[in-house]
Amino acid sequence: MIEFDQVTVTYDGALQPALRDVSFTVPEGELALVIGRTGSGKSTLLRAINGLVPHFTGGTLAGRVLVDGRDTREYRPRDLADVVGMVGQDPMAGFVTDTVEDELAYSMESLGVAPDVMRRRVEETLDLLGLADVRDRALTSLSGGQRQRTAIGAALTSHPAVLVLDEPTSALDPQAAEEVLAALQRLVHDLGVTVVMAEHRLERVIQYADRVIEVPGGAAAVSTGLPAERMVTAPVAPPVVELGRLAGWSPLPLSVRDARRAAAGLRSRLDSPQPARAGVPLGAELAQCKDLVVSYGSVTALRGVSLSIKAGEVVALMGRNGAGKSTLLNSLVGILSPRSGTATAAGVDPRRTNPKRLVKAVGLVPQEPADLLYAATVADECSTADSDFKVTTGSCRALLERLAPDVPLDMHPRDLSEGQRLCLALAVVLCGAPPLLLLDEPTRGLDYGAKRRLVAILRELAAAGHAVVLSTHDVEMVAEVATRVMVLADGELVSDGETAEVIAGSPAFAPQVAKILAPLPFLTVGEVADALDRAS
């Protein structure tokens, strides 16, 4: 269905090609998963499928891309609209109309589909993706999962043979991600749609994939293979695979269900030893909320949240999209003013403190990291950050090099990949080393390597007496780094306790290792390896 034949893509003005000598085939009805590090060229590969590269982005494409027998050299993206449906990273940015139903019909209108056919397909798609309840709603009023499903539906109504998705679940909470993946699974199994999808969150998607396309970036060659085979040696792998490698299971399980069936032996070997968890020495109180109420107009985002966070803690803030996580973080830096109650950060009232002094007390990496970046090059950005936070020259760049070693310093921050940009914003805020550090969804678009480096830095900060609060949907990251988890629902704090207590028992928030080894209280592969070491 899709055939890449020695494809090399070079953008205008770039010294290195973004993709080099890529050849692979994806047969009809398969779900192909594109993996690779942040900024390795996954988006370029996806956009080459419907001709956006090079027709829309410019640059040169050598070699040949065939989709359903059509050569993208002769067909523009709009001429391929009936064969390839494209869903971008941010669904909101791709919406053309303002209600769900109109959005679903848009591509069919452009293709000139007859009105009665259009009506039928819209109804079918509404049912297929479970959108019938929100059909009249404005797109801006939808939740993240509903938006993503609408975007998929909008690409589907023209009955394309190929559906291309760029990180469809990275911004979604675990429940919404499952809705989207279930919908995709139905498309592949029942309708025979060929799906090509890029995703960093392998733990969510690897079990559904029929084929893995690995884009290593740089000069290394793109390779494809079966998921189970690739995972044996892949440098990036979800916890279920790492556990399988550790226990020496063969064939390697890719889903929690398969791993659980293989895990009986491992569970009995682990029966006596408990995971060793060092108690955290707690310091002074660095964040405090007392009966905090925040509302936007008639919507109450937080109703009566009280909490206290001490130095040395890493707190994960969880909950579905719109539960009030960002609102809580924004109140702690004084971007939002409470309707009643108080929020205190490192002993100061963030609303009444001069920003220059406030950044010495609390730092926040916002959800849109680009908002923090002003300079024209990465190097400039680092030196302005040094002077903004009055730290020794070069400290921001040193942090950036630790987080993302391969970010080109002469690039414009907007031209970086989403993950690289996030690393830059993280480095900017981290170089101030504020006692209280807040991170709003720091793992969106980050690959496993960058996540591992982020975890190491956060642990170091906590050990050095900082308090870290991160809002995230990434349960694996939470299991690795958090000492305490708070779950928000509908603006209220519904649970607050040690990580193991809160997430191990929850069906939505339990990490893969906990699901596989339940009822044993292990959360990460590292803990299991430790326990096995001690047992032998």
Partner 1 sequence: MRAVHHLTLPRALHPGAWWLWALCMAVAASRTRNPVLLVLILAVTGFVVSARRSDAPWAHSFTAFLKLGLLVIGVRVVLQALLSTRSQGNTLLFTLPQIPLPDWAAGVKLGGDVTAEALVTALYDGGQLAVMLCCVGAANALASPRRLLKSLPGALYEMGVACVVALTFAPQLVTDGRRVRAARRLRGRTRASFRTTAMPVLEGALDRSVELAAAMDSRGYGRTAQAPRAQRRLTALCVLLGLLGILLGVYALLTDAMAFPLAAGALAAGVLLAVAAMAVGRQRVSRTRYRPDPWALPEWIVVAAGAVAAGAMVTAAVRGVNGLLLAGPLVVPPVPVLPVVGVLIGLVPAVAAPPLKAPLTKAVK
Positions 97 through 116 that interact with partner 1 (CB under 8 A): 97-98, 101-102, 105-115
* Count of residues that bind partner 1 according to CB under 8 A: 74
CA separation for the pair 251, 531 (Å, rounded) = 24
> Are residues 131 and 169 in contact, defined by beta-carbon separation less than 8 angstroms?
no
Q: Please say which residue, 438 or 531, places its beta carbon nearer to partner 1.
A: 438
Q: What is the nearest approach in angstroms of partner 1 to the Cβ of residue 113?
A: 6
| Shortest distance in whole angstroms from residue 354 CB to partner 1 | 7
Residue 41, CA distances (Å) to 377, 385, 425, 433 in order: 21, 28, 21, 32
Q: Residue 530: is it exposed, middle or buried by C-beta count within 10 angstroms (0-12/13-18/19+)?
A: middle
Minimum Å gap between C-beta 138 and partner 1 is 5
Task: Choose which of 3, 21, 82, 178 interacts with partner 1 (CB under 8 A).
Answer: 82
How far apart are the two ends of the chain, measured CA to CA in Å? 51
CB atoms within 10 A of CB 473: 27
Closest approach, Cβ 355 to partner 1, in A, equals 5
Is beta strand 436-440 parallel, antiparallel or unpaired with respect to 362-365?
parallel
**Binding mask 319-338 vs partner 1 (x if CB under 8 A, - otherwise)?**
-----------x--xxx---
The correct pick among 2, 22, 84, 503 for binding partner 1 (CB under 8 A) is 84
Stretch touching partner 1 by CB under 8 A, among 64-72, 78-86, 462-470, 480-488: 78-86
Residues 36-65 that bind partner 1 (CB under 8 A): 47, 50, 52, 55-56
496 belongs to the binding site for partner 1 (CB under 8 A) = no
Contacts of 297 (CB under 8 A, 6+ apart): none
Q: No. of H helices and E strands in the chain?
A: 22, 19
- Integer CA distances (angstroms), 242 to 255, 401, 404, 459, 528, in order: 12, 27, 23, 22, 11
Q: Which of 3, 68, 90, 178 binds partner 1 (CB under 8 A)?
A: 90
Angle, helix 115-128 to helix 174-191, in steps of 10 degrees = 130
**What x-and-dash track marks residues 359-398 binding partner 1 by CB under 8 A?**
xx--xx-x-x-xxxxx----------x--xx---------
Please name the residue that has the structure tokens 């906590």.
462
Q: How far is the CB of 58 from partner 1 (least distance, A)?
A: 11
- Cβ proximity to partner 1, 94 vs 216, nearer residue: 94
Phi/psi at 224 (nearest 5 deg)?
Answer: -125, 160
DSSP-based three-state secondary structure for 246: helix
Among 77-85, 195-203, 245-253, 259-267, the segment contacting partner 1 (CB under 8 A): 77-85
Residue 31 C-beta: closest distance to partner 1, Å = 20
- Of the two residues 6 and 110, which places its CB atom closer to partner 1 in the complex? 110
**CA distance readout (Å), 178 to 53, 170, 420:** 30, 12, 26
Among 76, 120, 186, 261, binds partner 1 (CB under 8 A): 76
The residue (of 375 and 457) whose beta carbon lies closer to partner 1 is: 375
CB 434 within 8 A of CB 357: no
Tell me the residue length of the chain: 536
Draw the binding track, 136-155, toward partner 1 (x: CB under 8 A; -: no contact).
x-x-xx------------xx
3-state class of 296 per DSSP? strand
User: Restricting to residues 272-291, which ones interact with partner 1 according to CB under 8 A?
Assistant: none
> Could you give the residue ranges of the DSSP H alpha helices within 283-324?
none
- Interface with partner 1 by CB under 8 A: which range of 166-174, 260-268, 356-364, 455-463? 356-364
Establish if 86 lies at the interface with partner 1 (CB under 8 A): yes
DSSP E strand boundaries for 258-326: 285-296, 299-310, 314-318
Q: Is the preceding peptide bond at 54 cis, omega within 30 degrees of 0? A: yes
* Contact (Cβ atoms closer than 8 angstroms) between residue 158 and residue 81: yes
Choose between 136 and 190: whose C-beta lies nearer to partner 1. 136
CB contact set of 455 (below 8 Å; sequence gap of 6+): 477, 480, 481
Taking the complex as a whole, the smallest distance from the CB of residue 451 to partner 1 amounts, in Å, to: 23
- 295 forms bridges with which residues in the sheet? 300
- Considering only 73, 78, 257, 452, the residue that binds partner 1 (CB under 8 A) is 78
CA atoms within 13 A on the CB side of 412: 4
C-beta of 410 vs 414, nearer to partner 1: 414
Identity of the amino acid at 214:
E
Q: Rounded distance, CA 378 to CA 424, Å?
A: 8
Work out how close the CB of 469 gets to partner 1 at its nearest, in angstroms, rounded to a whole number: 14
Per CB under 8 A, which of residues 397..436 are in contact with partner 1?
414, 428-429, 432
Nearer to partner 1, 138 or 535 (CB): 138
Q: Which range, of 19-27, 87-95, 281-289, 496-504, touches partner 1 by CB under 8 A?
A: 87-95
Of 1, 7, 34, 81, the residue at the interface with partner 1 (CB under 8 A) is: 81
Which residue, 230 or 325, is less far from partner 1 as judged by CB? 325
Least distance to partner 1, CB of residue 137, Å: 8
Q: Which is nearer to partner 1, 118 or 228 (CB)?
A: 118
Give whichever of 293 and 370 is closer to partner 1, judged by the CB atom.
Answer: 370
What single DSSP character describes residue 207? Answer: G
Q: Is 354 in the site for partner 1 (CB under 8 A)?
A: yes
Q: Kindly identify the residues of this chain, within the stretch 172-231, that bind partner 1 according to CB under 8 A.
A: none
